[in-house]
Structure 1
């Protein structure tokens, strides 16, 4: 579903507003019914819209779409995708409906789905939804207001921390009658929270009266969305089948979407095996994440004769942040000077040229390639936010935004390694007999948590430099399930993570940067950031009343986060590399803030027949 599933809450990136026709989303409307919501009050689509602009309303239904989950190295052991326990199966959000659904050509707008109308109180704290008549779960039981209230309160109390942080300011969900539910929010809630809450999945209260919501399970849960789980084999694949005559199929927010009869997600623990399976047509769509493979491996026969197509499509979302997260819960990473030493020891320029075919740009910011990214000197608005903390902030926060130094590209920049060594010395880690020791005589060790061998070369060149500094650095290669557990328990030294914030990040910032999230197992605050200044700026961002205020608040936050050196930034690119067997159709324009597959694509029988003839 086009809703804020756990996947979207954790990291769906959306960008700047692309509105051609604007209608107010939050008016003091005296009870007038609304058709959509957005944080700062602008909607692209009017109340009488028939479909989203990025779909083909006449797309045929049928056929199969299959894809590799991630880039390989993935698995699952649970079909409960909404809790912190277990390794969740991909795509479970497709089996659930929500009050409202996302439009992916707008920054954060949602429009009516299970709800047929909405009214908002003048103070914007009470949202009253009336459900459509006749909407049902997949077993034919009616979706009621009680199910909505149960779902939101359960996600708040028992759901993954990503949900709990968003719903923190949901004061209560009150059932007025069978079809009417009222959501009341705290005055401190971010403007993004009501839309996020309205786009969360609706569960069956009756179903969970006999089951534990907060336990892993391989029983397919009772859903209400356009797909249901049809078949699966733990850790290998999940097939979703389209629900025929689904009640939402012809609503404006769904017309032209969810066109395949079968969606199949394939899981491969080994990235190489996953690639070979694609060349053999064991699955049909692949997004490539490895520059070496993209540059050198897409020359197999089906590419050359046109049976497989290869495209580069734009990614207009903020690119967010990917990098090595340093676990500051561990004593050796508590000193900022240590973290900076490790950061400048990484030679991005050599890595990009020699391992990644020059395909990437260096990432500097957690808000990379967005208006929330700090650039150059701070603005007057940023200074005003930072000034109360001046005596507790480094002078660099008030100067040009910090970026990692550019290396000489040799792979072992001696000047930067000397600087790194001086920082380690100042932090009490000195060299004796080639080993970096603290005052107790303990050697500095650093373990990189990794799940697949294809990323080892990027680590090895970095590890080589760390060993030059006297650090005992190594890789701990584990299976994805074990890595998932260790990340949730914060049981690691250094781990790779990528997170992309929406254009209206708001409350989601708490789950990444707040002191509370640093103590919450399963949160996205892998670095363990626990800084009252960061907390204060996060709350300022959550409470922003305009896009401009949000932007400059996040830029101030960005400066403080960069000064902390909590992560070693990786790289980014503004495109998707995709390849697919030529049996699909798709609209001429993809949604600006999403890839668009498989939701907007469809099966073309004539193309599929040609592929069969060419075997």
Structure 2
């Protein structure tokens, strides 16, 4: 009754769907990790496409296929304004044809992009769209310097909504005149979604991090409690699981179905996984630092590293234990400063290198780093994306999210166990097992999370009283209050 259509007025067809699947499977490695069990797509009517799978039991895969990005075949196989045939495998500065509520109105590469709401958007009256996407125009200006971006927000007129990540700024800097006058609102939105795993990712593609004892040793110098007290105004919580904030997070000792799953791999897993509850160090007293740094030194010694002349050295080769943390901004200095200082107390020469975002993306995509801070977001229903996070195949696939370079047959088996879970109880048990194995192998140094979203915004918006707890705030459900906007414009015209 309501056919989806492209912005040029042409309908979206099953041919577009089949073509999109074929193009993405052939040219986008990140899709191949999801399409591993999908053999082909066939149009069976003018409204239906049938996807063929080579395995049964992958219960999540039909949903993923339902999320397939559909591209306009006629546009990509056509020519641009100069008559040159388009090539979907190559970058372009020509705004592509879309089908959503907004389209690109104008842009300046690296500087600005303006999105305009489509007047005759085909899906505007769908129930899921009612009350959303209310702004006629959205203008995004790119400011490379964080301080300049902050100043732009405080002056108004350029940045209307700011998602705040800095604990220090949230606690101390929201005292400028517009806040005091009530023209800028500072609001905390609680969230109920799974918490992302933010951590130092130790790249096992580097020989330095291939020994589990070394990776465990690197966990102990991370003093979260001191950082939280002195840098984060006690606003953060230590991350203890890759599935934090959900029933999927492992805890205590393995039991029931989880234990049954893990028993199959007992001889390939750390023995303490079965006898000890996984716990990260807690710096809760002046004596804690000495205790945990000694544990780190002892683990290094077991792995063949000794302190000589104040430096952690390889007992056989004499090579120093030295690595670089790669980052992109001043935030990385805050994240790693305390950690680097503690590492140096045990002779580990850790340094931080800040590079520009483009170089950073290229190096991360090609796994050209020792250690990075990154974030892995999970859902309440993990599945095929776990291959991208942990599988041996993704470890050698540029652009994957297997940042730690994990190549472990047990992890591969547990990932498949999650993907092919038969019901919810089975999924929870399999995920508990996967989480526990990841934790006990110390592939990362977990950092922290914050179970709220901090937003500051100029007081020109209306919004539904109830915001979705799974994301904290749905800005697409907000709208411009014209009376408030007019008052702000008059008051701050000079800015």
Structure 2 distance, partners of 1:396, 1:188, is 35
Any runs of at least 4 consecutive aligned residues in structure 1 with deviations exceeding 4 A, and if so which? 409-412
Matched, 1:268 2:140: no
Q: 1:571 to 1:190 in 2, by over 3 A?
A: same
Q: 1:245 to 1:402 in 2, by over 3 A?
A: same
Equivalent residue for 1:150, pick from 16, 19, 43: 19
User: What is the TM-score normalised by the length of structure 1?
Assistant: 0.76
Matched-pair contact (CA < 8 Å) for 1:515–1:529: yes
Q: Any idea what SS the aligned residue of 1:422 has? A: helix
How much does 1:277 deviate? 1.1
How much does 1:541 deviate? 0.4
Equivalent residue for 1:545, pick from 416, 422, 434: 422
Matched, 1:347 2:347: no
Q: Deviations over 1:384-415 (max 9, x none)?
A: 00001111111222134412111245598111
State the match for 1:225 in structure 2. Answer: 100
Matched, 1:604 2:481: yes
Matched, 1:235 2:235: no
Structure 2 distance, partners of 1:500, 1:605, is 37
How much does 1:196 deviate? 2.0
Structure 2 distance, partners of 1:316, 1:411, is 36
Q: Any idea what SS the aligned residue of 2:63 has? A: helix
Matched, 1:193 2:61: yes
Q: 1:420 to 1:431 in 2, by over 3 A?
A: same
Q: Deviations over 1:510-559 (max 9, x none)?
A: 10011111110000000001111011111010011222211111011111
Structure 1 distance, partners of 2:300, 2:181, is 56
Q: Any idea what SS the aligned residue of 1:367 has? A: coil
State the match for 2:394 in structure 1. Answer: 517
Equivalent residue for 2:273, pick from 397, 409, 417: 397
Greater mean deviation of Cα atoms: 192-201 or 335-344? 192-201
Q: CA RMSD in A?
A: 1.6
- Give the total of aligned pairs: 483
Q: Any idea what SS the aligned residue of 1:413 has? A: helix
State the match for 1:480 in structure 2. Answer: 357
Q: Any idea what SS the aligned residue of 2:282 has? A: coil
Equivalent residue for 2:378, pick from 471, 477, 501: 501
Q: Any idea what SS the aligned residue of 1:279 has? A: helix
Q: 1:227 to 1:345 in 2, by over 3 A?
A: same
Equivalent residue for 2:293, pick from 408, 417, 426: 417
Q: Deviations over 1:292-349 (max 9, x none)?
A: 1100111111111111111100111010200100001100000011111111111111
Unaligned runs of 5+ residues in structure 2 are: 78-84
State the match for 1:45 in structure 2. Answer: none
Q: 1:430 to 1:400 in 2, by over 3 A?
A: closer
Equivalent residue for 2:368, pick from 491, 495, 512: 491
Matched-pair contact (CA < 8 Å) for 1:375–1:400: no
How much does 1:454 deviate? 3.2
Structure 2 distance, partners of 1:411, 1:513, is 36
Q: Deviations over 1:397-434 (max 9, x none)?
A: 21344121112455981111111111111111212212
State the match for 2:80 in structure 1. Answer: none
Q: 1:397 to 1:512 in 2, by over 3 A?
A: same
Matched-pair contact (CA < 8 Å) for 1:325–1:566: yes
Matched-pair contact (CA < 8 Å) for 1:345–1:465: yes
Structure 1 distance, partners of 2:358, 2:98, is 26
Matched, 1:139 2:15: no
Matched, 1:159 2:28: yes
Structure 1 distance, partners of 2:26, 2:476, is 31
Equivalent residue for 1:213, pick from 88, 96, 102: 88
State the match for 1:470 in structure 2. Answer: 347
Structure 1 distance, partners of 2:491, 2:58, is 55
